[in-house]
Structures are given as C-alpha cells and as structure tokens.
Amino acid sequence: MRIAVIGQAAFGEAVLKALLEKGKEVVGVYAPPDVPGGRGDPLKELALSKGIPLFQPKRMRDPEVYAGYRGLNPDLGVMAFVTDIVPITILNHPPLGTIQYHPSLLPKHRGASAINWAIINGETITGLTIFWPDAGIDTGPILLQREVTIDPDDSVGSLYFNKLFPLGVASLVEAVEAIERGTAPRIPQDESQATYEPPCREEHALIDWSQPAPTVYNLIRGTNPQPGATTYFGDEKIKVFDSGLRPSPGGVSPGEVIEVTGEGLLVAAAGGAILVKRVQPIGSLKVAASEYAASARLRAGAILGKSFDFQSDV
C-alpha cells in the first residue's frame, strides 16, 4: 500500500518513523515551507534522511500541488498534524481515502484548540479520534477513538505530550493496518453531540480573579503553554503559566496577593486561591514567579488584574 504523509513538527516525524518501522511504503511527504532563519521541520528532516520525496508547498490548495500529488499515485493519505487547508480533491484522490488525527473525542471539540477547551471547561475525560476528513471542519466519519483521562494538574502541554501524542501515533498506525486488512469502519458522527470552539487566543485567556478558583485554575492549565493566561500588575501585562490550586485563608479580595514565597505568588480567587509559579512579563523570558515578584517589587497585598476593554488592548 502506497502512503502519502501530510504533516509537520514532532508529531508528523513520529508518525512517519512509526510507519517506516512497520515496513509501510511511504511514497511522498508534505511538510510546511521552511521558515527563514528557523530550524528545519523534523518531518522534513526525517523524509530527506530516508530518501522519501519531499514537497513543501506554500498552500496545499494550489492547483499544482494536486497535480504533483496525483503523480505519486498514493493508495492512502495520512494527515499527521496539519494546519493548512487540504482540498477535497487531495483528500478524495487516494483509492483508500485519507485519514486524519484529531485530539478530541469527536464530535466534541471540533476545531484547532480541542485540548485547550477540554481543560478550560474542566473536563476529566478526553481522547483522540482517527477519522476520514471531508470538506467540513473535523466532520468526517470516525475510524477509531481512544479515551484518556485529564488529571487534575494536567496542562495542555502535559496532556498532549504525555498522553495524546504517543497514543495518537500508535492509533494512526493501528488505523493504517485496519485499512490494509479491509476492516476500517466509517462511523458517522452524531451531529446532535457536536461542539466547535474557535482557536484559543489571548482574548480568551484573560484571568478574572473574581471567578471561582477552580475556574481560574482550569483557564491557566488550559492555556499553558499557549497562548498563556493573562493578568496585570498595575499597567504591566503578565502571562501566567505553571500554577496550583490552593485553599484561601479568607478575608481577601479577588486578585489580591496573599503571600509571596519561594514557591511563587498565592493569589486570591472566589472560594480559593491560585499559587502562581511561573510567569512571563511581556517582552521577557518566562521566569519563576518569585523572581518576577522580587524584580517588580510585588508584595503581599498587591492586586493583580485590570478592568479594561480587552479587545482594544490587543
């Protein structure tokens, strides 16, 4: 079976490596164009090292891309972390179709930030789906799904790299082998259960310290490492990353810094507190919250947060 891989980054590299280790025939690899001055994409580098034809089109939907893809004569397309729009002509060209990885239990959390929103919403179970993409956004029939737990202290980074990444690679290989055997299903998604969220951006990540502490904590976890939760100390914008959920001593205002220790900043929220461990002042590197507090002269009693029109600030 002749396979064409479309993907990028470490996930695309891992999928290609796993397919080759299983003895699969990969006839072409599509990766994003090089970024001037940037590091080479790992998927690109692996394809070149293995002598696999590599293509780096600016846009997958350009007509000449389809012409080249058709020339590869693939039996199956495998999409492993794709952020470009892949046209239906390419998706439907291989006789066995095209399969794609998505880090949620479709039809829940369609869209580019599925992991973020599952954590922000306080969910305890998520998973991944290998599906047959169509012209919609994450709407095609399901081939297989696998569940994972969202632990209380999981961030986007830990959930992806420790769970959804390795399981996703294994599941794509499992799906390819099911297609080879002729046993791969096409299960329609239940549209009555569908949810879609926009890409999680800075405007979604503003901390409201008057919200319940678990809600604030989920927002921080669900935006770590990208795009980072946002708060303010005075007029300075700060991104909040690593954190912990703690009880509050009471008698404090939302956003009030209860104490500053070597562990970080203990900040009050409704019904609890957040231990802020790592921050990033805008224009600076990420640092320990205690280090930032010392440099900014931030002490117990200070108030974090700012009332403003967020849209006008970005």
Q: Is the peptide bond before 225 cis (omega within 30 degrees of 0)?
A: yes
Quick check: 202 pLDDT over 80? yes
- Tens-digit pLDDT profile for residues 116-164: 999 999 999 999 999 999 999 999 999 999 999 999 999 999 999 999 9
- Tens-digit pLDDT profile for residues 257-301: 999 999 999 999 999 999 999 999 999 999 999 999 999 999 999
Q: List the one residue out of 176, 155, 188 whose CA is nearest residue 74.
A: 176
In order of their start, the domains of the chain are 2-193 (3.40.50.170), 202-313 (3.10.25.10)
Residue with tokens 């039809």: 107
CB 265 within 8 A of CB 303: no
Quick check: 310 pLDDT over 50? no
For the chain, the average pLDDT equals: 96
How far is the C-alpha of 297 from the C-alpha of 277, rounded, in Å? Answer: 16
CA terminus-to-terminus distance, the chain? 49
Q: Per the structure block, which two tokens stand in for 166?
A: 């390795």
Quick check: 107 pLDDT over 60? yes
CA torsion, ordered 299, 302, 307, 312, to nearest 10 deg? -20
CB 100 within 8 A of CB 77: no
- Tens-digit pLDDT profile for residues 203-233: 999 999 999 999 999 999 999 999 999 999 9
- Tens-digit pLDDT profile for residues 151-172: 999 999 999 999 999 999 999 9
Tell me if residue 78 falls in helix, strand or coil.
Answer: strand
Element (H, E) at 238: strand 236-240
Tell me how far the alpha carbon of residue 118 is from its chain's centroid: 11
Give the ranges where the chain is alpha helix by DSSP (H).
9-21, 42-49, 63-72, 88-92, 114-120, 156-159, 165-181, 213-221, 289-296, 310-313
CB 16 within 8 A of CB 3: no
Element (H, E) at 269: strand 265-269
Number of C-beta neighbours around residue 134 at 10 A:
15
CA distances from 308 to 25, 37, 233, 257, 280 (A): 56, 37, 13, 20, 20
CB 98 within 8 A of CB 127: no
Quick check: 83 pLDDT over 60? yes
pLDDT at 307: 52
